[in-house]
Amino acid sequence: MTFNLDHLKQELLDYIEAEGFAVFRCQPGSLESVPTIYWDSESFPDYKSFLGVAKVSEARIVVFADREFEATEIDDALEQLEDCEFGRDEHRSIERNLTDLRAFAGRTCSLEIAFDYKSRMYVFELVTDWFQTFLDLSELLMAAAPTGNDDEEEEEGGSDSSFGGYYSKN
């Protein structure tokens, strides 16, 4: 689902304040370390319904975060692409897709609103289709990136069990 989050961001903030909630602005991704329950924003993209639940639960504060897509993210992904061993056609396709995403630099790519109820954060998140494409490509690049410690693993006779390269979609 495609969203113009630049326009929706101000509409959402105005609505939150009009409904009598206090807005607490946080950094995107700040809620990842707390128990969260995500609203099915794909099937129910209306933030007013989500805020209706917040109101019924007597929430007084709504946490708000937005993320702007930066051109440096594309630059980093293109650098990472050079280290990956894809076939020529796949390499060109990924490079073209990343380059096409430059048109979105400076635009809002995700919005998150949340409220606390009984020690759980209830979260409504919207992500643009084009940013989801970027996340998918980034995940592909991370999976294909050389680990850089193949010699160490052979010498130790084992493998690293850490979650290196994990990239959250939240």
Q: Which two tokens stand for residue 35?
A: 């128990």
> Across residues 78-102, what is the average pLDDT?
93
Q: Which two tokens stand for residue 123?
A: 């979260």
Q: Which two tokens stand for residue 18?
A: 């009009």
Specify whether the CB–CB gap between 127 and 110 falls below 8 A: yes
Residue 169 has pLDDT above 50, yes or no: no
Residue with the two structure tokens 């639960």: 57
Q: What is the pLDDT of residues 27-77, one digit of tens each?
A: 888 888 889 999 999 999 999 999 999 999 999 999 999 999 999 999 999
> Across residues 5-24, what is the average pLDDT?
95
Q: Which pTM does this prediction carry? A: 0.77
DSSP strand pairing (36-38 vs 61-68): unpaired
Specify whether the CB–CB gap between 83 and 148 falls below 8 A: no
Q: What is the pLDDT of residues 91-133, one digit of tens each?
A: 999 999 999 999 999 999 999 999 999 999 999 999 999 999 9
Closest CA to 36 of 139, 143, 129, 115: 115
User: How many whole angstroms separate alpha carbon 87 and alpha carbon 141?
Assistant: 13
User: How many whole angstroms separate alpha carbon 124 and alpha carbon 111?
Assistant: 8
Select the more confidently predicted residue: 165 or 41. 41
Question: Within 57-124, where are the H helices?
Answer: 71-83, 88-100
User: How many whole angstroms separate alpha carbon 19 and alpha carbon 11?
Assistant: 12
Model pLDDT, residue 161: 35
Model pLDDT, residue 89: 94
Q: What is the pLDDT of residues 125-161, one digit of tens each?
A: 999 999 999 999 999 999 988 876 544 444 444 444 3
Exposure on the CB side of residue 40, measured as CA atoms within 13 A: 2
